[in-house]
């Protein structure tokens, strides 16, 4: 049985593999820094460096975007679909423009530097001062279609 709470779109934006490799290199660098103090200190620094860098990568690279029957859930934001207008797919230069010089300070921007495509959705609620929602996504066509189908 399908309910209105079942997501029609669900995406988790995770950090790229290169970021995890950099976290590993950070741990190795910490171990090399502490190696003059002994092997035990170097091993402790290795584990601590990898763990701290891994926590940072995990916190920066973990984000979820979902469209349910009634809501667009983007990170911590819960936006009613009835408050949203047309969804526009943004790629390449157009996506960069909307996250830089065309950006409105009042807009809700959920950006990730490692994702180059996005969806821009107009906010049509007259009581909301937010002009649009900008969402970085790896599958902008699917997200835009899910929003259009749910509105």
Contact 8, 67 (CB under 8 A): yes
Alpha helix segments (H runs only) across the chain: 17-34, 39-60, 92-99, 140-150
Domain ranges of the chain: 11-60, 80-150
pLDDT of amino acid 2 = 46
Contacts of 138 (CB under 8 A, 6+ apart): 11, 13, 115, 117
pLDDT for 75: 87
DSSP-assigned letters across all residues of 117-150: -EEEEEE--TT----EEEEE-S-HHHHHHHHHHH
> pLDDT tens digits, residue range 97-118?
998 999 999 999 999 888 899 9
pLDDT of residue 67: 93
Q: Which parts of the chain have pLDDT scores under 70?
A: 1-6, 151
* CA–CA separation, 47 and 100 (whole Å): 38
* Cβ–Cβ < 8 Å for 106, 123: no
pTM: 0.80
- Do residues 137 and 116 make contact, with C-beta atoms less than 8 angstroms apart? no
Q: What's the pLDDT score for residue 112?
A: 87
């Amino acid at each position: 049985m399908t309910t209105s709470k079942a997501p029609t779109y669900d995406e988790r934006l995770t950090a790229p593999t290169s970021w995890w490799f950099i976290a590993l290199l950070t741990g190795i660098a910490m171990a090399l820094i502490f190696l003059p103090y002994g092997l035990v200190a170097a091993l402790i620094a290795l584990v601590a460096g990898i763990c701290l860098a891994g926590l940072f990568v995990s916190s920066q690279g973990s984000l979820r975007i979902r469209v349910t029957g009634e809501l667009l859930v983007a990170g911590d934001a819960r936006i009613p679909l009835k408050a949203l207008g047309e969804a526009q797919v943004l790629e390449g230069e157009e996506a960069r423009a909307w996250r830089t010089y065309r950006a409105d300070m009042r807009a809700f921007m959920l950006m990730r530097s490692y994702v180059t495509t996005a969806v821009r959705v107009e906010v049509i609620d007259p009581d909301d001062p937010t002009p649009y929602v900008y969402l970085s996504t790896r599958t902008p066509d699917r997200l835009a279609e899910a929003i259009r189908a749910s509105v």
